[in-house]
Amino acid sequence: MSNRRNFIKTSALATVAVALNSFTSKEEESTSTFGKQKAEQNGTKPIVISTWNFGVKANGAAWEILKNNGRALDAVEAGVKIPEGDPAERSVGYGGRPDRDGRVTLDACIMDEFSNIGSVACLEHIKHPIAVARAVMEKTPHVMLVGDGALQFALSQGFKKENLLVEASEKEWKEWLKTSQYKPIANIENHDTIGMIALDSFGNLSGACTTSGMAYKMHGRVGDSPIIGAGLYVDNEIGAATATGHGEEVIRIAGCHLVVELMRQGKSPQKACEEAVSRIVKLTQNRNKNLKDIQVGFIALNKKGEYGAYCVQSGFNFAVNDTNGNTLVDADYFLK
């Protein structure tokens, strides 16, 4: 009996080992494919765009990689890690506002030029959820891990368990508990999700998106940001898009996939973002909801390095870094 148990245990371990080996070779394969593309560097001018004010600093980190002929995937990961690691940024990573139970739960996803994808949702105690999302992409046969499972995986990969609730966020949360009024506010202080999309000098696109989500959300609530197709989408033949704002509305229209598909149909990044926002406007009106209570912003980039952005109401901005420098731009909006 015990022999049989040992056999089962050993063969289960052997299966895991084989599976892990096959992931490693998948990863190596994609790296070497990229290596081939490196040899075929095509003179594309790199560009990176990202959401909100903190996009400027984040773009700076991404640009360091892009300008040295690095890969867009590495650039977007390095870029979004800047606000993730900054405790003064209170809506992403370390320092993010907690849910209504006082728990900081993080959502993130990443997508590369080969359509490899990785995502984590409702992840606690890990400062850089984007790096865990990348590990999900590169080291597991899955595309998404959530909650405790995501944390266990992160710890197994050597990520450090940390307290992410900073004093200022805890103080605000305790104030909020006095009324416990739940009205998700996005866009009020220019500091929400960071979504970043980039085109490298090999003509390849990648994207990353990371957030602590809506402050004081229900525990376990997941928004659009870790959902491939909603908060982020990349198609290396066409373009990339990422979103910020009320995640429920972005998920409802599978927002970023829609933006990329509109670009596939020939729309410019600007027109594609406008049409996705008009879809949200229409569905909000059909459902008799007040548009004034909603903010969603999209940014998009195509294969030629053209970009665009659009949102429901004023207040959304994004940062663009290319060979001309790094600038913050106010996005055009629907509710005038």
Question: Interface residues with ligand SD4 (CB under 6 A)?
Answer: 186-187, 192-193, 211, 213-214, 223-225, 244-247
Q: Is 10 a catalytic residue?
A: no
How near is the Cβ of 99 to ligand SD4 at its closest, in Å? Answer: 11
Q: How far is the CB of 125 from ligand SD4 (least distance, A)?
A: 18
Give the nearer residue to ligand SD4 in terms of CB position, either 231 or 308. 231
Query: Any idea which residue has 């220019």 for tokens?
Result: 190
Q: Which is nearer to ligand SD4, 223 or 239 (CB)?
A: 223
Q: How far is the CB of 194 from ligand SD4 (least distance, A)?
A: 9
Tell me which of 33, 51, 179, 193 is the catalytic residue: 193
Q: Which lies closer to ligand SD4 via its Cβ, residue 225 or residue 236? A: 225
What's the min distance (Å) between Cβ of 193 and ligand SD4? 3
Q: Which active-site residues does the annotation give?
A: 193
